[in-house]
Structure 1
Amino acid sequence: MSRWALVDVNNFYASCERLFRPDLRGRPLVVLSNNDGCVVSRSPEAKALGVKMAEPFYRIQAAFAAQGGVWFSSNYALYGDLSARVMSLLEQAAPQVQIYSIDEAFLQLEGPWLTDAMAHAQRLRQQILQWTGLAVGIGLGPSPTLAKLANYAAKRWPATGGVVDLQDAARRARLMALTPVEAVWGIGLRLGQALQREGIHTAAQLAATPAKGLRARYGVTLERLVTELNGQSAGCLTAPPPLRQQVLCSRTFGERITQRTLLREALANHLVRAAERLRQADLCCRHLGIFIRTSAHDPRQPFYGDQAGITLPAPLDDSLALLAWLDGLLDRIWRPGPAYYKAGVVLSDLSPRQFLQGDLFDGQDPKRMRLMQVMDSINRRHPHGLTLAAQGLGDAPWQMRQAQRSPCYTTAWSALPLAYC
């Protein structure tokens, strides 16, 4: 019988911020989204105050500060580095690790894990805490869905010590009877409401529903999920992901933009980032689109937004080749006068690189392909190490507002914490 574990870092972004600030222990802490807009991570103390995920921070800032709360801008360099350290420990602990998100991963368990999974999980949890300073919850079960459910219980009830094993059928039944159906992995709010209209309110009721009938109404994914709730691995995790339909890179500006040169610079940055994502996925695009817009909620000026696109002569993933089309597209939609609030790039009509049908007279230059590989390699090791001239020199007004960003403690020599003896 297969065994799975799900390891999830508790309150990941908030825990990363508190890791190097022990003076903040016990104080409510939140991490904000891009441009310091909404709450994306909360410490337990902030949750106890009633702070909700995705809540616009300006609405609660005064009350939150009055109760001793502290807040941070997102520091993705710090989070990415600490995530890599946790994942490295997981890869040493199990032969097969599937990273699910920045703060969680599934482990397929073999060997010694099968004889005493709880003891191994507790040792792993202690090792991660000792080596990284981050607390994790670990859920164990005969399928990925049950491992996810066990992790939900491990994080919800502190008395579990952060580890829950659902290998025992009777224990599974007790937990599923207490778990709302919308809390089951892959259900969510909308599908949960539809299931509740059918009288399915808990995970136990969902597990007891005939899977074939659910498939007819909701599709094969829900059928597999029900099979896994009943203790049989059904490929919910191992099913191949669908091919991406598009790559979108956009962001609201830290300040409103009125100059065309700055707007082009912002679009160039988005385009370079989108092309990097293409290459990471071994894809090429045949269609390039851009859009610009003002704020729809600004009473001082009428709303303006427009988009432009072009079908490329041949599929591309080359940042320099894609940038060559940018000026022509921007000329079609640029209008002087408005204060622009957001811009973005969309790459679509994607195809796998290995199936690329080349152009007889205008194929991709192998030297340029190697250049892109070198650029990507440098930027993977040094996230701010290499930029193109079209991307500007940095510190532009369109860049994200990050008034409360913490130092990059683990990735910048200048930000290393000092210890005084």
Structure 2
Amino acid sequence: MSAMRRVFALIDCNSFYCSCERICQPELKRRPVVVLSNNDGCIIARSAEAKALGIGMGAAYHKVRHELRRQCVVARSSNYPLYADISNRVMRLMAEMLPSIEVYSIDEAWGNMTGVADPAALGRSIRERLAREIGMPVGVGISTTKTLAKLANWAAKKWKGTGGVLDLTDPVRQEKLLRLAPVSEVWGVGHRSAARLAALNIATAWDLAAFDIGTLRKTFGVTMERTARELRGISCIGLNEGPPPKEAISSSKMFGVRQTELPPIREALAAYVARAAEKLRAQNSLCSSIQVGLQTQLADLNGPRYANAVTLALPAPTDDTREILALAQRGLSQIYRPGYPFSKCSILLMNLSQRGELTPDLFALKPRSGSEQLMKVVDQINQREGRGAVRIGRIPAKPKWAMRREMLSQRYTTRWDELIGVRG
């Protein structure tokens, strides 16, 4: 009896950040929209209408803002709490409709469609439900390997005739798309690899699939060989139902205004530690050591420059924000130098282990009583009421060092005081 053929789906949100902005702001529908990076630095997301105007990804906002206004393009500052909440809603809905999923990034996930009688119909149902219940447009690519499903997703978004869903499980349809798709659109083939492949007359996905496997392995390595096999319909990359725990967790942002005094930098570090510890607990890990970093704007060749970092060990593995913060503040005092215009500080949690994985040290200091329960309650409240509802007392509600976000929309789904209002 032959094994059941595996079928994968890739569900990818269209212009995710821009679509999140549109969900709660209907007036932005059909208008060109761009979303900016931290401190409103550069363009990191563009709606289809903005792309059609020729607005480039990564363009510095201060250089193109006048052109954006001339073309009536709406610019928004990054609203990460809004994006994270909508992403969670999208993933939960997909998990309800598929046997299993693997979250790949904030805006896309793999779905297991093995054994599904009509994968295309399920793909359309997922797309319609996401649009109806959340307002998120997506493309759905379906095939017998992850690489083919990714390519099918690209085609589903590129050609409107697909209706946003493309089932590429049929070998005849696979070959047709492989002959049309540029090799640069294949998952795992970057611009540099595409240029090297072009030197071997490999211009399309079909050329790559048909090329000698041994030569690919010798020239490019195992990853490219695996990609070619996947394009041939041989599944080499399985479905993981959850990402592995991170081996290190960092939190860092550029200050909205450069800081010379130590107190506001301590506030910023406290906020970054709180966020990193929240991520640590979310993956059920403990931290054994930390690295604290501090730097000026190193790209400024005319101003004073300074950068330093210090690594410190915790007395015992912990996920308690208070324990990590106390050590981080001590490290900050060691590397701070008065008078420098600092632009950034950072915290890196290292030597992570899963809770219950390590044998406790009999001679180590005992953790604070009720620490695990307290951190759990804090996380639950912040998940329900919005991040920062309960926070370390050192962190002000409106810090002076916060990122510049002059075009920030409301956190419509995570803050009670920023809910959508309806006027009579």
Match runs of 1:18-97 below 5 Å:
18-97=22-101
Residue of structure 1 aligned with 2:389, choices 378, 385, 395: 385
Instruction: State the shift of 1:58 in Å.
Output: 1.3
State the partner residue of 1:169: 171
For structure 2, the residue ranges without an aligned partner over 5 or more in a row are: none
Higher alpha-carbon deviation: 345-354 or 288-297: 345-354
**Partners of 1:342 and 1:164 in 2: CA distance:** 45
Matched, 1:290 2:295: no
Shift of 1:225: 2.5
Matched residues in 2 for 1:157 and 1:108: separation? Answer: 24
Determine whether 1:145 maps to 2:147: yes
Shift of 1:44: 1.0
Matched, 1:406 2:409: yes
After superposition, the C-alpha distances for 1:76-119 in whole angstroms (9 at most, x for unaligned) are 222222223322322222221222222212111155x32x3223
C-alpha contact (below 8 Å) 2:6/2:144 kept by paired residues: yes
User: Which residue is equivalent to 1:122?
Assistant: 124
Q: Partner of 1:316 in structure 2? A: 318
Q: Deviations over 1:128-153 (max 9, x none)?
A: 22222222111111122211111100
| Alignment-derived partner of residue 17 in structure 1 | 21
1:301-340 per-position Cα deviation (integer Å, ceiling 9, x unaligned): 2212211222334333322111221233122211111111
Contact 2:100/2:241, CA 8 A, preserved across alignment: no
1: CA distance, partners of 2:372 / 2:418: 35
Q: Which runs of no fewer than 5 residues in structure 1 stay unpaired? A: none
Distance in 2 between residues matched to 1:296 and 1:350, nearest whole Å:
30
Q: Distance in 1 between matches of 2:329 and 2:119?
A: 58
The alpha-carbon distance between structure 1 residues 237 and 377, as it changes in their structure 2 partners (threshold 3 A), is same
Contact 1:145/1:236, CA 8 A, preserved across alignment: no
Two-structure CA RMSD over aligned residues (Å): 2.3
Where does residue 372 of structure 2 map in the other structure? 369
Secondary structure class of the residue paired with 1:250:
strand
State the alpha-carbon separation in 2 of the partners of residues 355 and 410 from structure 1: 36
Q: Secondary structure at the match of 1:191?
A: helix
1:315 is paired with a residue whose SS is: strand
Do residues 98 (structure 1) and 129 (structure 2) align? no
Query: Displacement of 1:365 after TM fit?
Result: 4.5
Change (3 A) 1:39 1:137: same
How many residues matched?
A: 418
Q: Is the Cα contact below 8 Å between 2:314 and 2:324 reproduced in 1?
A: no
1:61 Cα deviation from its structure 2 partner:
0.8
Report if the CA contact (8 A) 2:103-2:242 is conserved. Answer: no
State the identity as a percent: 40
Q: Secondary structure at the match of 1:355?
A: coil
Matches of 1:151 and 1:409, distance apart in 2: 30
Matched, 1:349 2:351: yes
* Cα 1:300/1:348, change in 2 over 3 Å: same
* 8 Å Cα contact 2:156/2:166 also seen in 1: yes
In 2, Cα distance between equivalents of 1:241 and 1:194? 31
Structure 1 residues 120 and 323 mapped into 2: Cα distance closer, same or farther (>3 Å)? closer
Distance, in Å, in 2 between the alignment partners of 1:247 and 1:43 is 31
CA contact (8 A) 2:8 2:114 kept: no
What is the DSSP-based 3-state SS (H/G/I as helix, E as strand, rest coil) of the residue aligned with 1:389? coil
